[in-house]
Amino acid sequence: MLAAVIACAAPAAARAADPITIGLGMALTGGLAPSGKAALLAMQIWAEGVNAKGGLLGRPVKLVYYDDQSNPATVPGLYTKLLDVDHVDLVISGYGTNMVVPALPVIIQHQRTFLGLFALDANSEFHYPNYFSIVPTGGPHPKQSFAKPFFSVAMAQTPKPQTLAIVGADAEFAHNAIDGVRQLAKEAGLKIVYDRTYPPATADYSPIIRAIQVTNPDLVFVASYPPDTVGMLRAASEVGLQTKLFGGGMVGLQYTPLKVQLGPLMNGVVDYEFWLPTGKLATPAAMDFLKRYQAQAPAAGVDVLGYYLPPFAYADMQVLQAAVEGTKSLDQEKLADYLRSHTIHTITGDITFGPDGEWTEARVMEVQFHDVKGNDLAQFRDPGKTETILDPPPLKDGAIIYPYTKARQ
């Protein structure tokens, strides 16, 4: 009888020791790799910490990941493999709108709870109830919330701007951002004098900047991913773009490697930001994570400062952890129900999810780059030396240098 009990207990113990697998695709090569690799390191730091404390539900956690190559076309196949071949217990997204949107049909088909990392209103067409967004956009109008601080800064200037040029890549992120920009422009009474997209593989951006220049806009809003952000800034410098405010939705200016690469070309640009180690954002928990991240970053060959995506990648895992521990389960519906009904505490602040899994309250900042000299990394360690927070008012730490033509000098 005792032998039978032991025989029955052994498989259960073995199952309890099996890791909880968390599957994802991540940009480890291609244009999004600088942030993708940094995000993965943050997730690994979370996994190390959780496992050191006994794991989740008494089981260790294991990340199962594949390189999506910064290419949306690879994403459906990767998630199909994770779910149908690897049979992962939990699934989260890679980095960015362009990678989250193509994953969603696979997730929906498999009826999984899914966390999207830095995806702008990715669920607006699907309305999938078990999707949850980890990005500081949100509120009742997520697309507008991304660009709203840019317009808040612009429309506070004297005289008020009258005209706007909009440009972005022909891809999911830019389309969603531009949809929000058009609505904000309408509300502000701005005349749109240029509204075009360009192929994501564009190599020469000078013709685009020249075409914008012909329209003589007061404001230029750019919705770009890192490779085209670099191209746009170089072209604006070469052409000598004349405008009052330039930037808005340029992804990449938050990455330390791109800051070092671009240097003074960033001066005068007004762009979005999600988190910086300053003021009330620099909580003890956030700074503790940053210390751990920065200790490992050089050996990992990733962004050595990690101010942009890493804190949110870590928070992404904290949200998943909260749902698992709160429900004491891996049941997908129970996890989703928990996330819909609870406020989650993370190192980036408390998160409450609303319709379509967006945050109930947006927390997007607008900053201006200034006094960037050369390409030295050290100048970017203290954000206050090269970036002024212009919006929101509670975080504002300086005044804008206006217009762009003056600020870039």
- In terms of phi and psi (left: phi > 0; alpha: psi -120 to 50; beta: otherwise), the region of 184 is alpha
* Cβ proximity of 154 and 126 under 8 Å: no
pLDDT of residue 18 exceeding 60, the answer is yes
171-200 pLDDT, tens digit per residue, is: 999 999 999 999 999 999 999 999 999 999
Query: For residue 350, what are the CA distances in angstroms to 137, 315, 397?
Result: 14, 10, 23
pLDDT for position 2: 34
Structure tokens at 390: 């212009």
Distance of alpha carbon 226 from alpha carbon 233, whole angstroms: 11
- Residue among 287, 393, 304, 335 at smallest CA distance from 131: 335
Which whole number is the average pLDDT over 43-53? 98
pLDDT of residue 103 exceeding 60, the answer is yes
pLDDT of residue 8 exceeding 90, the answer is no
pLDDT for position 17: 77
pLDDT of residue 237 exceeding 80, the answer is yes
> How does residue 3 score in pLDDT terms, banded at 50, 70 and 90?
very low
Which of 5-14, 91-100, 119-128, 398-407 bottoms out in mean pLDDT, i.e. has the lowest?
5-14
Walk me through the domains of the chain, giving residue ranges and CATH numbers: 2-136+282-357 (3.40.50.2300), 143-273+370-407 (3.40.50.2300)
* Cβ proximity of 308 and 254 under 8 Å: yes
143-158 pLDDT, tens digit per residue, is: 999 999 999 999 999 9
Instruction: Label the pairing between strands 90-95 and 131-134.
Output: unpaired
303-314 pLDDT, tens digit per residue, is: 999 999 999 999
pTM greater than 0.85 (yes/no):
yes
pLDDT of residue 288 exceeding 80, the answer is yes
Which whole number is the average pLDDT over 81-90? 98
Which whole number is the average pLDDT over 288-298? 98
Beta partners for 125?
A: none
pLDDT of residue 271 exceeding 80, the answer is yes
25-35 pLDDT, tens digit per residue, is: 999 999 999 99
Q: What is the mean pLDDT of the chain?
A: 95
108-144 pLDDT, tens digit per residue, is: 999 999 999 999 999 999 999 999 999 999 999 999 9
Which whole number is the average pLDDT over 363-376? 97
Distance of alpha carbon 15 from alpha carbon 24, whole angstroms: 23
Distance of alpha carbon 203 from alpha carbon 187, whole angstroms: 34
pLDDT for position 16: 53
> How does residue 408 score in pLDDT terms, banded at 50, 70 and 90?
confident
